[in-house]
């Protein structure tokens, strides 16, 4: 029987040492978070092996510097995303854990022994099913296009990975850059910014009901008055006449895929006789923009907002060099040089630069 | 017009039809009789060019049928099947009008003349009141008459009828046979019928052709060729020929 | 009974001549961009008789003649094409369940469009590829059916096989498609007249026009072709050749329509039935009336598709969802055979 008095001097410092998180290391106690579906989840203190089916989450994990903890990659980021292989080249060595429909390949997932999985909030049944079968915590996380939720997501992932400081850095960087865009030029007054129509998803008539970069850049998305065609998505289908009724001042075409694959092009719209009377066509204000796929890449959305601000209020941004700005933002997020320039080469964005 | 068959051959599976030579007289009714499987229907179909003969020819008024276009042939030879294949519920007149196909160019519709021909044909078979009635509403006997009317609308010189009286009650049977006789006698057509009823064949034909096993056993006027020995040879059972009130009846 | 049928037939023809034009003029008034009916009238008059009083501000003319008119004409022509093809195929195969779908045209066209949208980008327009593969599908059906192509069971079986094949190929293309192309493809597959423009119609409308016209000219001949093979042969008709000719015509007409509109089904099945129920089976009536009423059906469906909500309902879905129950109700009520 060792008297308590003699142990205490050793135990207390040891206990104290255990509760102080090591620099850049792992929080040892479990963390309780609330995911995008409102579920409260207890995440273990140690998450070393991560599988993410939601590309937005994967991108943030890499931005937080913990890409090495990924043990698998989803189908979209491996096969169809132009940006991610540039951001995180070592992802090429990761096994693909989902199929073309982004369904989890369970056998592969079990083999990889993840500590945690991230799923898409649009697929509620899938989230439950993964939890049942994998017997691991499953966190459904995505911003659904909302900036506020994107920042919350960064913070949540920071807590899960024990990288709260880095997360705070990114959130603050995001806020300040966004603020500097909003600070210049008319601030969100509905009549001061141009009216904008977005043509997304390879069709002239499909448009996102909510696209925050437009608002943040001082424009007004005409489709925001509509309801999405299908629940859980962002898109609506309009008629050609509706576009004429709206008579947008600017038309933006989703351009984050290579020119050869585009179905809707700026030239096509400018040359379409049916749209000849639309203001945007008459003034030549038809441009490409990046758009989103599986929600945001946090760096890209900043670049895009800055780009759009320049498009909408040309006079307010003298000395604006999109490529230089872009590279700087990407370097801040991912620590790699020239990422934005590389992306622009693939998408041929040099053609996008407004005069 | 006279029909002459020369060295006609047709094969189908194990069955072989061979008719070395046969003529059918103008303005006469010739019946083809024989047991099941003798090849009566097949022979008729070969005459109608519905089935392609593998060898041999059919000559109508000296012309080889094989050398004629479908349209020309259809204006010479008319074929009445036993039952019409399933079809839409056309009106009787529309049904009969299809018989005018050989006269109407591919992209045209029937003219007034065609309609008149169809109506005349209906009148001849005794169905003058029937043009607007739907085909499905007719009785078996009436349908047969409509079939004949359709073939008459073709204005052929030769009429081939396959078992036109099968499944009909006695009254309708007689009606059709009388009609067939009129077609030969009044209209001068060469009529060739396959019949299963020997008695009727004897009564209503000018000439008979007995077939068995894909070939012709005997042909000629009933009075000349009919004998118990012939019947035994063709049908493989004993039959007697009796004389009742001046008519010959065949009893099994 | 025959008297009523005749009266009904006459009424049906009169209506058929008038209704499509009336619907066209009425439909010109429908659309998200509000144009007062008077302005519609003056703009049209101004275009037909130029040099008269000014026909209103320029957007009106653009909308009426660049957006609405091509779309409505496409609806009329496509509706006529689908209905006439369906009616012709039903006539020569004597089977009420046959329509253009049975020949594998729809899935052939869908596969062609998929191939173009996913792999060939803009080098090959989706319409051209859809048309090409629709024809390939029909040729495949005829090839598989072989000599027995004029038998309904054979052709239906071949159609099922070819449809299944192209459906599988379509799934394969969807599997390998990147999400961008997949979106465009799904949109195309739902069937839509929304993007009709004169550029597309320049070739399509004449092809459909010729196809429909020739099929209408053959209307009486189809009565003959609907007889048994033996009987038709005895009547001097080369039934195989003529049936295949009708099949090819129906296929070309339908493929031309499907290539531009995407998959719109059921029109070719429902309209001929309704017509037969009203006026009987004589193809001299059924074929032209099907053309006219198919046109009317599609233009009405399109009006509904674009005016009922702020977004557009894909027309293929509309024709199915509305057409089928309507058809069932009519079938039950009439109680009589539809042949």
Same domain assignment for residues A244 and A142: no
> Which helix (H) or strand (E) segment is A128 a member of?
helix A124-134
Tokens 């996913």 found at: C118
Q: Which two tokens stand for residue A152?
A: 């919350």
Q: Is the pLDDT of residue A185 over 70?
A: no
Residue A222 lies in a domain: yes
Local structure of C296: helix, strand or coil: helix
CATH number at residue A225: 3.40.50.1980
Mean pLDDT for chain A overall: 84
Least confident of A151-165, B128-142, C193-207, C247-261: C193-207
Indicate the pLDDT class of residue A24, thresholds 50, 70 and 90. Answer: very low
Answer yes or no: is A43 within a domain: yes
Q: Is B130 helix (H, G, I), strand (E, B) or coil?
A: coil
| Orientation of helix A298-312 relative to helix A322-334, angle to 10° | 160
Q: DSSP assignment, residue C105?
A: H
pLDDT at A188: 47
Angle at C222 between CA C216 and CA C223, to 5 degrees: 125
Residue with the larger pLDDT of the pair B110 and B250: B110
Domain co-membership, A315 together with A342: yes
Query: pLDDT by residue (tens digit) across A271-297?
Result: 988 898 899 999 999 999 988 888 888
Nearest alpha-carbon partner for B18 in B212, B163, B208? B212
Residues of A within 8 A of C310 (CB-CB) are: 226-227, 236, 238, 242
Q: Does the distance separating the beta carbons of C226 and B89 come in below 8 Å?
A: no
Q: Could you tell me if residue A22 is inside a domain? A: no
Q: Are residues A198 and A108 in the same domain?
A: no
Q: Domain range holding A69?
A: 27-175
Contacts of C1 in chain B (CB under 8 A): 132
Mean pLDDT of B10-19: 87
A12 inside domain: no
Strands (E), chain B: 3-12, 15-24, 29-33, 55-60, 63-64, 77-80, 158-162, 190-194, 207-212, 215-220, 240-244, 247-251
Please tell me the distance from the alpha carbon of residue B173 to that of residue B170, in angstroms, as a whole number: 5
Digits of tens for pLDDT over chain C (339 positions)?
456 667 888 889 999 999 999 999 999 998 888 888 888 888 888 888 776 555 445 678 888 888 899 999 999 999 999 999 999 998 988 877 777 777 888 889 889 988 888 888 767 788 888 889 988 998 898 888 877 766 777 888 888 899 999 999 999 998 888 777 787 788 778 777 877 778 878 888 999 999 999 999 999 999 999 888 888 889 999 888 898 899 889 988 998 898 888 888 788 888 998 898 889 889 999 999 999 999 999 999 999 888 876 667 778 888 888 777 877 876 777 665 544
Taking CA–CA distances from C173, the nearest residue in chain A reads: A100
| Residue reference for tokens 């276009």 | B69
Same domain, A201 and A276: yes
Residues A99, A169 share a domain: yes
* Average pLDDT over every residue of B185-212: 90
- What is the C-alpha separation between A47 and C288, in angstroms, rounded? 72
**Residue A189 pLDDT exceeds 50:** no
Across the interface, whether the CB atoms of A244 and C310 are under 8 A apart is answered no
pLDDT, tens only, B98-108: 999 999 999 99
pLDDT of residue A114: 93
Kindly state whether residues A170 and A271 are assigned to the same domain.
no
Instruction: Evaluate whether residue A182 is within a structural domain.
Output: no
A–C CB contacts, 8 A cutoff, strictly below: 95
Q: What percent of chain A has pLDDT over 70?
A: 86
Q: Is residue A67 domain-resident? A: yes
Query: What is the average per-residue pLDDT within B169-181?
Result: 89
B158, pLDDT greater than 90:
yes
Q: Are residues A347 and A198 in the same domain?
A: yes
Is B210 a residue whose pLDDT tops 80?
yes
pLDDT more than 90, % of chain A: 39
- Based on the domain organization, do A212 and A341 belong to the same domain? yes
Q: Is C304 on the interface with A (CB under 8 A)?
A: no
A160 in any annotated domain: yes
Q: What is the pLDDT of residue A16?
A: 47
| A105 and A155 part of one domain | yes
CB contact under 8 A, A240 and C195: yes
Same domain, A136 and A224: no
Helix extents (H) in C190-238 = 198-217, 219-225, 229-234
The answer to whether A and B touch (≥3 CB pairs < 8 Å) is no
Chain A residues near residue C35 by CB distance under 8 angstroms: none
Instruction: Answer yes or no: are the C-beta atoms of B100 and B153 closer than 8 Å.
Output: yes
Give how many domains chain A has, as a whole number: 2
- Whether residue A132 lies inside any domain: the answer is yes
Tell which CATH architecture fits domain C2-334: Orthogonal Bundle (1.10)
Rounded to whole angstroms, the Cα distance separating C274 from C290 reads 9
The pLDDT, as a whole number, for residue A19 is 46
Predicted pLDDT of residue B167: 83
Q: Which of A144, A175, A206 is the last residue of a domain?
A: A175
Same domain, A160 and A267: no
Residues A38 and A166 grouped into a single domain: yes
B·C CB contacts under 8 A: 97
Residue C32: the pLDDT is 82
Q: Write down the ipTM of this complex.
A: 0.87
């Amino acid at each position: 029987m060792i008297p308590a008095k003699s142990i205490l001097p050793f135990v207390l410092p040891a206990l104290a040492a255990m509760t102080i998180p090591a620099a850049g290391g792992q929080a040892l106690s479990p963390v309780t978070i609330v995911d995008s579906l409102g579920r409260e989840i207890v995440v273990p203190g140690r998450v070393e092996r991560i599988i993410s089916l939601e590309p937005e989450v994967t991108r943030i994990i890499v931005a937080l510097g913990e890409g090495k903890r990924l043990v698998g990659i989803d189908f979209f980021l491996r096969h169809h995303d132009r940006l991610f292989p540039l951001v995180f080249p070592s992802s090429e060595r990761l096994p693909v854990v989902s199929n073309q429909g982004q369904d989890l390949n369970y056998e592969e997932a079990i083999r990889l022994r993840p500590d945690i999985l991230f799923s898409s909030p649009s697929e509620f049944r899938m989230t439950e099913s993964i939890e049942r079968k994998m017997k691991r915590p499953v966190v459904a996380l995505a911003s659904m296009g909302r900036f506020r939720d994107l920042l919350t997501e960064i913070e949540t992932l920071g807590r899960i990975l024990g990288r709260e400081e880095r997360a705070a850095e990114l959130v603050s960087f995001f806020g300040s850059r966004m603020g500097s865009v909003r600070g210049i030029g008319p601030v969100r007054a509905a009549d001061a910014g141009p009216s904008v129509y977005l043509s997304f998803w390879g069709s002239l008539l499909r448009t996102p009901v909510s696209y925050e970069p437009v608002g943040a850049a001082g424009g007004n998305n005409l489709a925001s008055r509509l309801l999405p065609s299908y629940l859980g998505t962002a898109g609506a289908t309009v008629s050609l006449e509706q576009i004429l009724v709206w008579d947008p001042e600017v038309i933006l075409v989703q351009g984050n895929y290579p020119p050869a694959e585009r179905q809707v092009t700026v030239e096509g719209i400018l040359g379409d006789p049916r749209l000849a009377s639309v203001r945007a066509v008459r003034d030549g204000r038809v441009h490409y923009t990046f758009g989103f796929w599986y929600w945001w890449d946090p760096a890209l959305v900043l670049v895009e907002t800055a780009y759009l601000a320049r498009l909408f209020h040309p006079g307010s941004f003298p000395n604006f060099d999109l490529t230089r700005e872009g590279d700087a933002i990407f370097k801040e997020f991912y620590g790699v040089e020239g990422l934005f320039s590389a992306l622009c080469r693939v998408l041929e964005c040099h053609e996008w630069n407004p005069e | 017009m006279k029909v002459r068959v020369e060295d006609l051959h047709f094969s189908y599976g194990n069955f072989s039809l061979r008719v070395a030579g046969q003529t059918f007289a103008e303005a006469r009714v010739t019946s083809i009789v024989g047991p099941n499987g003798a090849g009566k229907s097949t022979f008729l179909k070969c005459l109608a060019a519905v089935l392609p003969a593998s060898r041999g020819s059919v000559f109508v008024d000296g012309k080889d049928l094989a050398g004629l276009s479908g349209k020309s042939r259809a204006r010479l030879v008319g074929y009445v099947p036993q039952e019409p294949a399933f079809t839409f519920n056309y009106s009787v007149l529309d049904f009969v009008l299809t018989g005018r196909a050989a006269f109407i160019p591919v992209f045209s519709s029937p003219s007034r003349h065609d309609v008149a021909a169809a109506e005349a044909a209906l009148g001849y078979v005794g169905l003058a009141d029937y043009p607007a009635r739907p085909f499905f509403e007719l009785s078996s006997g009436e349908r047969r008459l409509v079939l004949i009317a359709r073939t008459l609308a073709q204005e052929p010189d030769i009429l081939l009828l396959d078992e036109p009286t099968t499944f009909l009650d006695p009254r309708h049977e007689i009606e059709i046979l009388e009609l067939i006789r009129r077609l030969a006698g009044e209209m001068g057509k060469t009529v060739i019928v396959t019949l299963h009823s020997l008695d009727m064949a004897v009564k209503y034909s000018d000439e008979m052709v007995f077939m068995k096993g894909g070939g012709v056993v005997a042909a000629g006027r009933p009075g000349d060729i009919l004998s118990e020995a012939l019947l035994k040879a063709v049908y493989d059972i004993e039959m007697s020929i009796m004389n009742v009130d001046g008519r010959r009846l065949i009893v099994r | 009974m025959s008297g009523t049928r005749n009266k009904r037939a006459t009424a049906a023809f009169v209506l058929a001549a008038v209704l499509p034009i009336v619907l066209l003029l009425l439909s010109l008034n429908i659309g998200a961009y509000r144009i007062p009916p008077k302005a519609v009238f003056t703009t049209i008059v101004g275009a037909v008789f130029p040099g008269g009083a000014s026909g209103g501000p320029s957007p009106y003319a653009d909308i009426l003649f660049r957006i609405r008119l091509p779309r409505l004409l496409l609806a009329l022509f496509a509706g006529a094409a689908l209905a006439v093809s369906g009616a012709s195929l039903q006539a020569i195969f004597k089977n009420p369940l046959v329509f253009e779908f049975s020949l594998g045209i729809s899935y052939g066209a869908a596969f062609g469009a998929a191939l173009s949208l996913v792999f060939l980008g803009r080098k090959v327009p989706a319409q051209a590829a859809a048309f090409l593969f629709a024809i390939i599908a029909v040729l495949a059906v005829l090839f598989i059916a072989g000599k027995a192509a004029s038998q309904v069971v054979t052709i239906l079986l071949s159609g099922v096989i070819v449809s299944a094949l192209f459906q599988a190929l379509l799934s394969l293309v969807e599997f390998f498609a990147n999400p961008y192309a997949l979106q465009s493809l799904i949109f195309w597959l739902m069937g839509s007249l929304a993007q009709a423009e004169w550029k597309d119609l320049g070739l399509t409308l004449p092809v459909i026009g010729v196809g429909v016209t020739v099929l209408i000219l053959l209307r009486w001949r189809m009565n003959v072709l609907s007889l048994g093979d033996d009987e038709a042969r005895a009547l001097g008709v080369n039934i195989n050749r003529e049936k295949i000719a009708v099949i090819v015509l129906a296929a070309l007409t339908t493929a031309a329509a499907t290539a531009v509109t995407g998959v719109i089904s059921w029109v070719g099945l429902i309209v001929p039935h309704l017509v037969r129920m009203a006026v009987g089976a004589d193809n001299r009536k059924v074929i032209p009336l099907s053309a006219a009423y198919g046109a009317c059906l599609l233009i009405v469906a399109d009006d509904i598709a674009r005016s009922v909500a702020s977004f557009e309902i894909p027309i293929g879905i509309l024709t199915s969802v509305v057409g089928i129950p309507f058809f069932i109700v009519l079938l039950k009520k009439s109680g009589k055979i539809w042949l």
